[in-house]
Amino acid sequence: MKWELAWNDPFTLYLDPYAALIGDRRTWTTFSETVKGIVASGSLVCQRIATHSPVLGAVKKGAQRIIRMVTGDTTKRSPDLDASHLTAQLRSQAVAHLATLPSDELWLLADGSDLRKPYATAMPDLMQVQALDGSLVPGYRTLNVLGLTPQRRGLLYHRLFSSTAADFVSEPYEVQQALMTVSQAIAPLQAAMAVTWIVDSGFDDVAVWRTIWEQKQHVVCRLCHTDRLVEFPAAQGGWQRGSIAQARTTMRRLTQTTTTVDVTQPRTGHTKPQSVVAEIWAVPIRLSYATNVRRVGPGALVSKPLWLVEIRLLGTKLEPWLLLTDWVVETAAQGVRMLTMYRQRWGVEDCFKWTKECLGWEEVQLLDLGGIRLLVALAWVAAGFLYQLGITLDDESVQVVARLGGWEPRPSRPPGKITLTRGLRRIVDLLATDAFLQAYYRDHGPLPSRLAAFLHGWQPRDDL
């Protein structure tokens, strides 16, 4: 049976592309109200999501409707409503969003983020992940890729996986799948943009770099393996062979600049943004590698010209940032560009922190791995809506949402995601409260006198 969307508020318009995954109106209502409830509740606990939904909060067993949807019990007409199809649609939307404003560069920020469930015992396919204190706790791993241009960002990849799940191959395999999936998706953008992967030390892997270079893309990677053998300039001319640690001793100072980093305060132990001086050093190197590394079949030996860049944060106890890149870094301006690019990695950390804290990643509680994956993917759908709000501040309605979240209009201080989230929650909670009261009036008649006095001015609608 064909069905149409009934109304066109900004939230429904944002969700409209996902309607292709859904085959009936009831599932669509549950889907859209689940995303709305995630924003309003800041949680992935189904009962909390339902309570904060204007529709599901006003019906019996609203949480059960969410559980049955994400576990596939009530989606026979919507076979494509799963985490893989949902994230594919997220990726398609992100590519379209990134293309709306012209840009010469696209930066891809890849990173993993652990979903920790330290007290879980019955959840399916739990593996050991690292807690903040360095100990191991039950949980899952996720791999995520954000696309970034000067004025746009979007989620290009997300996958939750576990080493104990039946579909698990290996973590390097998961990384390779992410690299190839994203590269295929951004092919239309790469025709006009230089693409650079900006990754942390977890991607210090020749197989990762090889795949990126095969796709005609660039890399900026923080290194952790300083014993890797490379070639670097010899004092007497020509090239000599040695480790990256030895190559560091031949670096040339390019420039120094100021930047802002989070520095731990000695008295309180808390981190605080602080302006520091950054010295930038660099040296050209050459890396030889086999193209068939972690592949079946013959390969070729390739020598790749690269640059080793070190950023030293003076006056802090922070370790220097040792970066490898295939971009040329010969001048002061090119060195500062490397600093600017790697600093964007903090945007990934900020995104993860916000998603976990404001949308409740780690609160998910289900006994079905597919359902867990779908709920976490739905959190990213909610995050995408908030990201789009953040770039439409000229819209008067968005300004009202920001004011509801506590924002005071200032030319140099636009509202952040947390402020917009807080404003949206107040609006959705208002709708959810009204829906619950209307349902109570329909089923039981007038509100109790004390509650009616407290809610002075509230009236039932005539259409009940």
Of residues 164, 178, 165, the one with CA closest to residue 87 = 178
Asked if 301 and 290 touch (Cβ cutoff 8 Å), the reply is yes
The answer for residues whose C-beta is within 8 angstroms of residue 248's C-beta and 6 or more apart is 226, 283, 308, 310, 322
Between the CA of residue 86 and those of 51, 244, 324, what are the distances in Å? Answer: 24, 42, 34
What was the pLDDT predicted at 435?
66
Pairing state between β 218-222 and 194-199: parallel
What was the pLDDT predicted at 409?
72
Q: How wide is the angle at C-alpha 44 spanned by C-alphas 93 and 178, nearest 5°? A: 40
SS3 assignment, position 38: helix
What was the pLDDT predicted at 42?
80
Asked if 428 and 36 touch (Cβ cutoff 8 Å), the reply is yes
Q: Tell me how far apart the 2 most distant CA atoms of the chain are, in Å.
A: 94
Domains for the chain: give ranges and CATH numbers.
10-78+372-444 (no CATH), 83-353 (3.90.350.10)
Token representation of residue 420: 């917009």
Please give the model's pTM, rounded to 2 decimal places.
0.84
What was the pLDDT predicted at 284?
97
Cα(460)–Cα(372) distance, integer angstroms: 38
With residues binned 3-state (H G I as helix, E B as strand, rest as coil), the percentages for the chain, rounded to 5, are 40, 25, 35
Pairing state between β 229-233 and 301-314: unpaired
What was the pLDDT predicted at 228?
95
Between the CA of residue 304 and those of 180, 228, 289, what are the distances in Å? Answer: 21, 14, 8
Asked if 358 and 418 touch (Cβ cutoff 8 Å), the reply is yes
pLDDT less than 70: residues of the chain: 1-9, 265-270, 347-348, 350-352, 354-358, 386-402, 410-418, 420-421, 423-432, 435, 461-464
What was the pLDDT predicted at 416?
67
Token representation of residue 429: 């909670």
What was the pLDDT predicted at 464?
44
Token representation of residue 160: 């939750």
SS3 assignment, position 270: coil
Token representation of residue 309: 């860049």
Pairing state between β 301-314 and 271-290: antiparallel
What was the pLDDT predicted at 161?
96
Handedness of CA 454, 459, 461, 464 (dihedral sign): positive
Between the CA of residue 284 and those of 10, 90, 229, 304, 342, what are the distances in Å? Answer: 50, 39, 14, 11, 18
What was the pLDDT predicted at 338?
95
